[in-house]
Amino acid sequence: MDLESIPGVGEKTARALAELDDPERALRTGDVAAIANAPGISRGRAARIARAAIRREHDDPGGFLATDRAREIYRELLELLADRTVTDYAAQRLETIFPSPRQSRIEDVRAFAADALEREPNPDVLDALEGVSSLDRPRDVRVRERCLATTDAERYSEAREAIPELSVEIVEDAQGLAELARGYSTVVAIDESFAGVTVEGDVRVEPDALETPAETVPERPLAFFARNRDAITAAIDVHRHAGLETDCDLEGLEDALSRLETDGTVAGDDELDRLATAVDDLDAAVGTAESVANDHLREAIREEDVTIEGADLLSLVERGAGVDSLLSRELSDEYAAAVTAAREHLIESLDLESGEAEIARRIFADEPTFPVEREEEPLGRLREELTGARERRADRLKRDLAADLADQRDHARQLVQDALEFDVELAIARFAADFGCTMPEFVWDGEMRSGNGVSGDDDGVSGDDGVSGDNGVSEDAPDGDGIDADAGPRETGFEIEGGRSPLLDEPLERIDPVDYGVGGVALLSGVNSGGKTSTLDLVASVVVLAHMGLPVPAERVRLRRFDSLHYHAKTQGTLDAGAFESTVREFATLADRGAGSLVLVDELESITEPGASAKIIAGILEALSENGATAVFVSHLADEIREMAGFDVTVDGIEAVGLIDGELEVNRSPVKDHLARSTPELIVEKLAEEADDEPIAANGGDVRGESVPGFYDRLLEKFE
């Protein structure tokens, strides 16, 4: 893959990406965490690069989310999804799922989401996911006691590249190897020409050392597994609890990991532990053994009556002999017993084996002395013997474990990757369960009724979706092959059944399901607080999620593929002349090029005076209708706009079905082709009914009825 062909990836970034283990996989799967492992690339940047790579793959020009409110809706939905992830990876990976106008992209994610919906989140899996994180590649492994040696400059560069953990030295000949062996514990000669050469020291001739890095530097796989042990172990748990399929031998991997300490050394080997403890405890054990001997001897001397003939004493004194001679003469048995006790103590406390015990015995000499003291020379030899054995053992174990683990590296990577992806799937499954979602049904371009829809030479409705650098719908976006005008207003736009907006701050069971569908252009009227804005939010959420390839919060949804979403939220108050002008300009662009777009507008009338607003909105609707956009305009001026519009614009209505204890009771599903009565109308109607129901009291006590006969009816007539 030519990394530089990804929009936004220059030479420097491409070089950084190339350092990843598998940049193509990371980009293809949107593995933001892996991309962010490339030097100098932040997580935010990584997400942008991943999105750009996906866009390029699907020829997606970007800019689906064409307005601030559309982007806001996407962000809020993303947050709801991210709230349901356990790992950072999954939250970042979700950032690479964005609404796209491209069928191929939508279908890719739909396939993934369909699998996700089969997932059952269970608490054990969620717990295990807490421990899973993206794998780290340790870059700081340096092995100082081993080096590679070559006579060849080219081979030298190759070796440095392949095995950066070891120093690579250039030598002239075998003599050079011998010199190196004085500075390094092990020298690995990598030239064929050294075959058969024997040099003093640990010099190995391994011409294929560069091809078998796990053997040349077992520290590499060990460091990788040590660094990532917890994440891999947690990923194993996730697989077990979730019953995920894997080619990996989970027990084998778990067993190998249990033999690894966090510092990359091998754990759980009794013999290595014995040798390590013996080396560590050697001095202390020898000291104790000396005390054992001396205590023993002291006791013996104290209890012994030494009888010595005068002549013997004289001869001893004349020879200048010390007490040692006396000991050997008179207390040799006791001395032997004391030394035996010391040796036994030493051998037992260090758990020495026969060869080692043999050397250990010599630490306490047979010739009697008092106090009994260690012999330094055999002590040094024992130390050397034990240290050598410990190192050989550790080295062998390291190599064996590294060989076991090196083969498992790819499996482990896959295991962790699958666990992390599983978290993404679970988040989608939980989102779908929490908001009662189903997969929407798309009516793709080829399946739409052909008609006189204006084909779009769409080249960009301005607006940055905050996701891509690209704006708008590009020239190569498919034609906005619009809607068949002859087919009436209800041909394919969107059709929602039982939709519940995930953006409402209410528990799911308190949200009334909404049915609503629009093909072409519609006005949405309705009582105050009837749920008009929430309906637009629902439509926007459904359309955004559907174009992300995800399930939507409704019992059933059918929709066309849109090129972009233009959602204009309610403006707060009248706009000044400049802001008004720019809003009108925005709609001019949209009316001109917005075929294939979904346009949602909330109470545009507040931008200017009511009379003018109705005219402007009517004009915008005409243009949108002509070019085949799908649009819903929420308005309290629906009636006036309908009057002004030069075509038969559909007016739908969110109706209050009545007033209960002064509160409106609303049917949240807009009624098609029905101008909803306004709240004031309902209140006047209620007053009129009450006045009719209550006869005027004889004493004129009913102030309402008496003082304003027919007043409410008169008001009511004005609404007709």
- Strand order of the β-sheet with 521-526 is 564-568, 597-602, 630-634, 521-526, 650-660, 663-671
Q: Does 525 bind ligand ATP (CB under 6 A)?
A: no
CB of 663 to ligand ATP, least distance (A): 11
Q: Measured in whole angstroms, how far is the alpha carbon of residue 425 from the centre of its chain?
A: 11
How many Å apart are CA 358 and CA 610, to the nearest integer? 108
How many Å apart are CA 129 and CA 113, to the nearest integer? 19
Q: Does 534 bind ligand ATP (CB under 6 A)?
A: yes
Q: Does 530 bind ligand ATP (CB under 6 A)?
A: yes
CB of 665 to ligand ATP, least distance (A): 12
**583 with 531: CB under 8 angstroms?**
no
Q: Does 600 bind ligand ATP (CB under 6 A)?
A: no
SS3 per-residue string spanning 479-494: CCCCCCHHHCCCCCCE
CB of 637 to ligand ATP, least distance (A): 12
For ligand ATP, the binding residue among 532, 547, 560, 561 (CB under 6 A) is: 532
Secondary structure (3-state) at 435 = coil
CB burial of 53-65 (b: ≥16 within 10 Å; e: otherwise) equals: bbbbbbebbbbbb
For ligand ATP, the binding residue among 262, 325, 332, 528 (CB under 6 A) is: 528
Q: Does 514 bind ligand ATP (CB under 6 A)?
A: yes
Q: Does 51 bind ligand ATP (CB under 6 A)?
A: no
Secondary structure (3-state) at 512 = coil
Q: Does 541 bind ligand ATP (CB under 6 A)?
A: no
**26 with 20: CB under 8 angstroms?**
yes
CB of 552 to ligand ATP, least distance (A): 15
Q: Which 8-state DSSP code applies to residue 191?
A: -
For ligand ATP, the binding residue among 529, 571, 583, 589 (CB under 6 A) is: 529
- Name the residue whose CB lies closest to ligand ATP: 531
**166 with 189: CB under 8 angstroms?**
no
For ligand ATP, the binding residue among 131, 531, 594, 628 (CB under 6 A) is: 531
| C-alpha separations of 251 from 236, 240, 353, 419 in Å | 9, 11, 33, 17
List, in sequence order, every residue forming a beta bridge with 655; answer none if it has no partner: 667
Token pair belonging to 197: 């050469």
Which residue, 514 or 545, has its beta carbon nearer to ligand ATP?
514
Which of the stretches 277-285, 419-427, 469-477, 522-530 binds ligand ATP when contact is defined by CB under 6 A? 522-530
For ligand ATP, the binding residue among 133, 216, 492, 533 (CB under 6 A) is: 533
Close Cβ partners of 592 (under 8 Å, ≥ 6 residues apart):
623, 627
List, in sequence order, every residue forming a beta bridge with 464; answer none if it has no partner: 471
List, in sequence order, every residue forming a beta bridge with 187; answer none if it has no partner: 147, 203
Secondary structure (3-state) at 503 = coil
Q: Does 504 bind ligand ATP (CB under 6 A)?
A: yes
CB of 36 to ligand ATP, least distance (A): 39
Q: Does 653 bind ligand ATP (CB under 6 A)?
A: no
CB of 657 to ligand ATP, least distance (A): 14
Which residue, 451 or 498, has its beta carbon nearer to ligand ATP?
498
Which of the stretches 130-138, 273-281, 480-488, 505-513 binds ligand ATP when contact is defined by CB under 6 A? 505-513
Which residue, 347 or 538, has its beta carbon nearer to ligand ATP?
538
Q: Does 496 bind ligand ATP (CB under 6 A)?
A: no
Q: Does 106 bind ligand ATP (CB under 6 A)?
A: no
Beta strands at 650-660 and 663-671: parallel, antiparallel or unpaired: antiparallel
The verdict on whether residue 480 carries a ligand-binding annotation is no
Torsion on CA atoms 11, 13, 18, 24, rounded to nearest 10: -110
Q: Does 638 bind ligand ATP (CB under 6 A)?
A: no
Q: For the segment 659-698, give every residue that binds ligand ATP (CB under 6 A).
A: 668
Which of the stretches 267-275, 280-288, 393-401, 532-540 binds ligand ATP when contact is defined by CB under 6 A? 532-540
Which residue, 391 or 512, has its beta carbon nearer to ligand ATP?
512
| C-alpha separations of 560 from 330, 463, 555, 564 in Å | 112, 22, 17, 12
The verdict on whether residue 632 carries a ligand-binding annotation is no
How many Å apart are CA 627 and CA 619, to the nearest integer? 13
Which of the stretches 53-61, 135-143, 208-216, 531-539 binds ligand ATP when contact is defined by CB under 6 A? 531-539
Q: At what angle do helices 323-330 and 332-350 cross, to 10 degrees?
A: 90
How many Å apart are CA 375 and CA 365, to the nearest integer? 7
CB of 606 to ligand ATP, least distance (A): 10
**610 with 639: CB under 8 angstroms?**
no
CB of 512 to ligand ATP, least distance (A): 4
Token pair belonging to 387: 């240290």
Which of the stretches 102-110, 225-233, 506-514, 545-553 binds ligand ATP when contact is defined by CB under 6 A? 506-514
The verdict on whether residue 463 carries a ligand-binding annotation is no
Residues flagged as binding site for ATP: 526-533
Contacting positions for ligand ATP (CB under 6 A): 504, 506, 511-512, 514, 526, 528-534, 668
